[in-house]
Amino acid sequence: MMAKYFNVTGICIPEKHYMADISATVRAITETLVDRGAYFTINRARQYGKTTTLYLLEKKLCERYLVLSLSFEAADDLFVSAYTFAAGLVRRIGKKLSMQNIPAGILNAWNAPLSREFALEDFSDRITELCRACEKRIVLMIDEVDKSSDNQIFLSFLGLLRAKYLEQQKGQDHTFQSVILAGVYDIKNLKLKIHHGQETKYNSPWNIAADFNMNLSLSVSGIEGMLTEYENDHHTGMDIPQIARAVYDYTSGYPYLVSRICKLIDENCSWCRTGVSEAVRMILKSSNTLFDDMQKKILDYPELKRMIYSILFGGKSFPYYPVSQPVKIGVLFGFIKEEEEQAVIANRIFETFFYDLFLAEDILESKTYDTALQSRNQFVKNGILDMELILMKFLEHYHEVYYDCTEKFAEENGRKLFLLYLKPIINGTGNYYIESRTRSMGRTDVVIDYLGRQTVVELKIWRGNEYHKRGEAQLVRYLEDYHLEKGYLLSFCFNQNKKIGKNVIQREGKTIVEVVV
């Protein structure tokens, strides 16, 4: 038997791949939706485990139902006309039926030629006869359903399913027990563009669909289970709870990112916290279809780009309002999640990707980046990042170039300038991310991971002595969280009598090196 491995392409199969156990989710979908006759859409971001969930759901449902599992991937030829669509579905469903020991009479009736004039009506009657003749109730599953959702024929298909669903509720028709459509977009609320010059349609016939609220992200315990299975096979001696937590902290359970980190560690790194950080660095350096799609979406949706930019660099808070178009789009693509009723970036890897993407737009014209790049070699000594020197050199550069800047300028640009300065120094070797609990207009904690050593740097705008003391106390708590004895504070101060330079503060047994600019 072939040894298991971590899979990041296509369907994950429990017998072949190391993967989290999602049987509880599959069981919940079966019992709360399919068994109750619900029609619904599984809409999640790219590479979020939809296809794997459908595969395992199909296996579960086959115990009691006749399952017809299709995909609209590369199905453009279906949507030429109502007839080609109906005939194409008859052909595809017929192939599925022929593999499930359906009596020849039922199969022949299904495969009979369709009327060209009334193809969809004939197709509807065909569904009725099939569902009436089969002993088992039938579940229809269609993956990649939004590939052709901007087509009027697709709307007609949804309308057909809706009409039959309602008629069956009244006892006047026979149709599918459940219909499951999977894709990125929520078909129930999708803005559907038909043909050029025609009206843009916002309403979908899929308003009969039940809400799908299942959480498809992986939990820490789910990641632990996957790593336990791997450890039983390979005996690496890893600290499973620690590694699972570290992977989750970077990914928030995004299935592709979890598997990608584990695959990279298995093939290139060690099973330790440093190995996790190294795998994350490799992901962020790589070109992959997920990041390519993310970049395209940011370009396609300027409102979403502005919101993410404001969250990252402006410290602005956005309420998690589902009616807000940028929030709705961000959630749809998996870029945004809810945290304490606020819209935040979905995970640390995405956050760093967006930081890098936005910073890249400024690098060519950035004196700050160029200055750090020219002197980057002096900042690493014996493999250890000299953060104190970095801050002092940033101070020199800031006052040389931005000596007459305003407080508003620092609020809007301070963290970007520091990250532009930091990026060429750690690029290729280290990672950074922003501690989301402290991202605000006034202060931000940057956590830098360089060759397995973590450094916490707080960036803040001076708001008075009392606010400053609270910031020091918060930084001490984060140093305790990260098991560090020393932290760093970069303060942008605009008092007329301010004293720029370095201060060393001792607080609650921790050392804080503050640099005031």
Q: What is the pLDDT of residues 280-310, one digit of tens each?
A: 999 999 888 999 999 999 999 999 999 999 9
Final residue before a domain boundary, out of 262, 286, 310: 286
SS (H, E, C) 41-89: EEECCCCCCHHHHHHHHHHHHCCCCEEEEEECCCCHHHHHCHHHHHHHH
**% the chain with pLDDT above 90:** 64
Could you tell me if residue 317 is inside a domain?
no
Per-residue burial over 434-457, b if 16 or more Cβ lie within 10 Å, else e, is: bbbebbeebbbbbbbbbeeebbbb
Residues 6+ apart with CB under 8 A from 393: 372, 375, 379
The reply to whether 111 and 227 lie within a common domain is no
Domain around 95: 23-208
Residues 6+ apart with CB under 8 A from 79: 85, 148, 151, 153, 154
Q: In whole angstroms, how far apart are CA 358 and each of 303, 310, 362, 419, 474?
A: 15, 11, 7, 11, 28
The reply to whether 446 and 480 lie within a common domain is yes
Q: Is the pLDDT reported for residue 195 higher than 90?
A: no
Q: Which of 125, 114, 107 is nearest to 83 (CA)?
A: 114
Phi-psi region at 103: left, alpha or beta (left = phi > 0; alpha = psi -120 to 50) = beta
Structure token pair of residue 393: 């050199």
The reply to whether 409 and 373 lie within a common domain is yes
Final residue before a domain boundary, out of 208, 239, 270: 208
Task: Give me the residue label for tokens 């395992």.
Answer: 56
Q: What is the CATH number of the domain that holds 134?
A: 3.40.50
Residues in the chain: 517
Final residue before a domain boundary, out of 250, 269, 286: 286
Q: In whole angstroms, how far apart are CA 293 and each of 47, 287, 297, 300?
A: 11, 11, 6, 10
Could you tell me if residue 318 is inside a domain?
no
Q: Which pLDDT value is given to residue 437? A: 58
**How sure is the predictor about 74, in pLDDT bands with cuts at 50, 70 and 90?**
confident
Q: Which pLDDT value is given to residue 436? A: 63
Could you tell me if residue 41 is inside a domain?
yes
Q: Which of 512, 495, 494 is nearest to 503 (CA)?
A: 512
**How sure is the predictor about 193, in pLDDT bands with cuts at 50, 70 and 90?**
very low
Residues 6+ apart with CB under 8 A from 504: 511, 512, 513, 514
pLDDT digits (tens, 9 = 90+) for 316-345: 889 999 788 899 999 999 999 998 899 999
Per-range mean pLDDT, top range of 43-52, 124-133, 193-202, 207-216? 124-133
Instruction: Give the Cα separation of 444 and 246 in Å (integer).
Output: 21
Could you tell me if residue 92 is inside a domain?
yes
Could you tell me if residue 319 is inside a domain?
no
Strand, helix or coil at 471?
Answer: helix
Could you tell me if residue 30 is inside a domain?
yes
The reply to whether 90 and 194 lie within a common domain is yes
Could you tell me if residue 400 is inside a domain?
yes
Structure token pair of residue 110: 């299904």
pLDDT digits (tens, 9 = 90+) for 201-222: 555 788 899 999 999 999 999 9
The reply to whether 370 and 461 lie within a common domain is yes
The reply to whether 42 and 187 lie within a common domain is yes
DSSP string, 347-362: -HHHHHHHHHHHHHHH
pLDDT digits (tens, 9 = 90+) for 380-409: 988 899 999 999 999 999 888 887 777 677
Q: What is the pTM of this model?
A: 0.88
C-beta separation of 444 from 459 below 8 A? yes
Question: CB count, 10 Å around CB of 341?
Answer: 9
Question: CB count, 10 Å around CB of 47?
Answer: 20
Q: Which pLDDT value is given to residue 492? A: 85
The reply to whether 185 and 98 lie within a common domain is yes
C-beta separation of 237 from 270 below 8 A? no
Q: Which pLDDT value is given to residue 461? A: 81
DSSP letter at 113?
P
Q: How many structural domains is the chain composed of?
A: 3
The reply to whether 88 and 178 lie within a common domain is yes
pLDDT digits (tens, 9 = 90+) for 54-67: 999 999 999 999 99
The reply to whether 199 and 229 lie within a common domain is no
**How sure is the predictor about 198, in pLDDT bands with cuts at 50, 70 and 90?**
very low
The reply to whether 516 and 379 lie within a common domain is yes
Instruction: Give the Cα separation of 119 and 124 in Å (integer).
Output: 9
Instruction: Give the Cα separation of 184 and 44 in Å (integer).
Output: 5
Q: Which pLDDT value is given to residue 31? A: 97
Q: Is the pLDDT reported for residue 439 higher than 70?
A: no
The reply to whether 168 and 50 lie within a common domain is yes
Higher pLDDT, 85 or 410: 85
The reply to whether 34 and 173 lie within a common domain is yes
Could you tell me if residue 14 is inside a domain?
no
Lowest mean pLDDT, pick from 79-83, 128-132, 368-372, 424-428: 424-428
pLDDT digits (tens, 9 = 90+) for 3-30: 999 999 989 999 999 999 999 999 999 9
